[in-house]
Amino acid sequence: MASGIFAVLDDIAALMDDVAVASKLATKKTAGILGDDLAVNAEKATGFLASRELPVLWAITKGSFLNKVIIVPLALLLNVFFPVAIKVILVLGGAFLAFEGVEKIIEYLAHRAKKGKEVIEEAAADTADHQQEKSKVKSAIMTDFILSVEIVIIALGSVLDKPLMTQILTVSVVAIVATVGVYGIVALIVRMDDAGFKLIKRGGDGSFLAIVGQVLVKALPVIIKILAVVGTLALILVSGGIFSHNIDYFHHLWPNLPAILKEFILGIAVGLVVVAVVMALKKIIAMFKKK
């Protein structure tokens, strides 16, 4: 009996060892997309009132965990019974990411400086209800869903030659690490200014702690602006990478062009097409509503 228990424990230890090695390899392969995930979600989790930053981030984190709960078993089942569906889902997700990235660029280029009265009215409207906040959270969770699909598929692809149990545990580990790691870092970023103010108060004028605090406070707006740019580029590059790797025509297109430039062009091109289609659909719907 004892020998049987030790045999089971030995099998479990061997499985955990395989999962640890496979998870390390899968995490390395998803490092690029995890970096993009961090940039995108950090940009989406900023821009709220200080009192709402952590509640909003927690809402997005819960949504991200729910995304993983849906995606991991679905990806495993599709890989066994209907593997072609994974590619279709990835391409549709890539189109959504391209749309978000290009839409941000168009909004920035078409941005009109608002007058003081407009800013005050907008701020009052935002304070009066949380509709805009809910909309941003919903958008962040949807974007996280697409990025999570990419992460899970890449992780699964790295362990296809492993037993099913190893695949399940490895993909689950990568999914959990991705969520905890990404949103843990995002939480640190959005609370930089609060940490800075506390250091300034604790250290007093001219102290080392006060200097560090001032650096943190001044650095946050710069980091947010950088994340806005990096996050938008990440959306476009990730979408372009999805098209390049999953659509045969695009994969063989422009073979001498650097991969990153090719992915950027594909992301922009598809994004412009999707934006045009969405705008046309909105106009058609508005016309029917008037009738």
124-175: pLDDT as tens digits:
555 545 677 788 788 888 888 877 887 888 777 777 777 778 778 888 888 8
Mean pLDDT over residues 273-287, rounded? 89
CB atoms within 10 A of CB 89: 19
- Amino acid at residue number 206: G
Q: What is the mean pLDDT of residues 273-285?
A: 91
Report yes or no: 148 and 68 within 8 Å, Cβ to Cβ: yes
What integer pLDDT is reported at residue 254 of this predicted model? 86
Residue 119, pLDDT score: 46
Q: Residue 28 above 50 pLDDT?
A: yes
Q: What mean pLDDT is predicted for residues 203-214?
A: 80
Mean pLDDT, the chain, as a whole number? 77
Is residue 133 within a helix (H) or strand (E), and if so which, with residue range?
A: helix 131-157
For 37-85, how does the pLDDT look when each residue is reduced to its tens digit (9 = 90+)? 666 666 666 666 666 777 888 888 888 889 888 888 888 888 888 888 8
| CA 234, chain centre distance (Å) | 9
- Has residue 221 got a pLDDT over 60? yes
Buried b (16+ CB within 10 A) or exposed e, 27-63: bebbeebbebbbbbbbbbbbebeeeebbebbebbbeb
- At 6 the pLDDT is 46
Rounded average pLDDT over 191-216: 81
Q: Provide the pLDDT for residue 274.
A: 93
Q: Model pTM?
A: 0.70
Structure confidence at residue 137 (pLDDT)? 83
Q: Exposed, middle or buried: residue 124 (CB in 10 Å: 0-12, 13-18, 19+)?
A: exposed
Residue with tokens 């362990």: 159
What radius of gyration do the chain's Cα atoms show?
23
pLDDT at 97 over 70: yes
Q: What's the whole-number mean pLDDT along residues 218-246? A: 82
Question: Minimum mean pLDDT among 57-66, 93-102, 113-122: which range?
Answer: 113-122
* Euclidean distance between CA atoms 167 and 174, whole angstroms: 11
Pair of tokens at residue 45: 């989790």
pLDDT of residue 267: 92
- pLDDT at site 43: 66
* Long-range CB pairs of 45-52, under 8 A, 24+ apart, other chains included: 45/140, 45/186, 45/190, 46/189, 46/190, 46/224, 46/227, 47/136, 47/224, 48/133, 48/136, 50/193, 50/194, 52/133
The residue behind tokens 């939480």 is 187
**Amino acid identity of 103?**
E
Structure tokens at 100: 């978000």
